[in-house]
Structure 1
Amino acid sequence: MSEQPVLVERRGAVQVITINRPQAKNALDAAVARDVAAAVDELDGSDDLRAGVLTGAGGFFSAGMDLKAFLRGETPAIEGRGLCGITKTPPRKPLIAAVEGGALAGGFELVLACDLVVAGRGARFGVPEVKRSLIAAGGAALLLPQRMPRAVALELLLTGDPMDAERAAAVGLVNQLVDDGGAVDAAVALAERIAANGPLAVAATKQVVLSMPSWTPEEMWDRQDEIVRPVFASEDAREGSTAFAERREPVWRGR
């Protein structure tokens, strides 16, 4: 195995980020955090990349924070950006979690920082922090109630017991269940479907969805208009309509 803590590859317009510490169940240390943050910065900064996939090597997503590294004084958080640089400041472009095995504690919080989830049928999701008299403060306590019914989120947070992939799909956390070993390829295929669409429209749509909870009912239409107006006036919007009329595939310029 490569000694690189994070592997990054491009599959066309899709970036695949792989946490590469299988011997430690892809536990998160400072090196992983720096490399994941750099990868998502590349995702957002590249005109050629349209969507990303985040996964773990060796059939396991991530067991969360590396406690041995923590005792050495390391943290997997990036100042001002949260865990691995994505929990407080997720990328502007869509990010899909491809989950095999376990996504536990901070590993689950990385999943919650992603927009969509593809999981192998043997995957498990959990936030066991309360079993150690800790709190899932890296995003789970805040985001789980937004991704599933509140009572189910509280069950996970207060018992610390894991949820299997079938139930995670049933409560709306997982978008697609696949056979074990197939999560990355299925996530890339889903990302390719997103990447085929207008990049300005995709990014603005994500921004509206993520921003909306903080808007009051009185302001939400005006705030949405601020985000979507430039998209409707863009070259890509004209190209999309022209391509439809001419019965051809659009060529996006991102402007």
Structure 2
Amino acid sequence: MTINCKGQLIDLSTPKVMGILNVTPNSFFDGGKYNDESELLTQVGKMINDGATFIDIGAYSSKPSAEFVSEEEELARIIPTVQLILKHFPEALLSIDTFRSEVAKACIENGAAIINDISSGNLDDAMFEVIAQYKVPYIMMHMRGTPQTMQSMTHYDDIVKEMLFYFSEKISKARSLGINDLIIDPGFGFAKTIDQNYEVMRKTELFQLLELPLLVGISRKSMIYKPLNISAEEALNGTTVLNTIALAKGANILRVHDVKEAMECVQLWNKMNL
């Protein structure tokens, strides 16, 4: 199971770690931390040294009820970040967390390797065409509505069945356009209650029916810290527990704030499965 990133085949049969880099002032955990160039580069260097295969850059907070950010502002935040990182880490494989096709296009043209779309094209009709044109791997996440409305859209008759149907339709559309490298993300925390998140986690192995790589992103989310009555800052141990469960249920990529600890999960998981 491989994906092609800028001519480099990445084997996802061995789980990989994607480090999160938010260049927003308002992300739920690390918002505003990396506005200074030296701090940003230090963090990227640390994630790469700790074992991250990918760095996922976001310039639009998608936390529940996040405020709207214009396309111009998103571009102004993310393009200089992509350019700065690739100037200092030219071999870095950058994933771009955006639902806007023009942002995706501009980032790819500046050297990004992957597009990570929380809406799977639902928020920008042109996204699939851009992915098809540039032939980059595409992460399709399950979500309803927008970051501003998603938490009011949590009614499902059978959540996993409906998610599988959602992904099947997206995969069919992508294949019809010649998009080869697809990754699916169940979208923990997006248009799902805490109980629904755990139902999806319990049944995560069912997404293997789609025969595509699976990305799991639960790092420090409220599904961890709210049941434990702690803060996001205190949720690393809980994140590690659920990352380990995700690996057991077939996750190929862990998207995390804390790369070192996630890599330890992967290393021990690999040891268990020699």
Bin the TM-score by the shorter chain: 0.3 to 0.5
Give the TM-score, by structure 1 length.
0.36
Higher relative contact order (CA 8 A, sep 6+): 2
Larger-gyration structure (1/2) = 1
Q: Structure 2 length as normaliser, TM-score?
A: 0.34
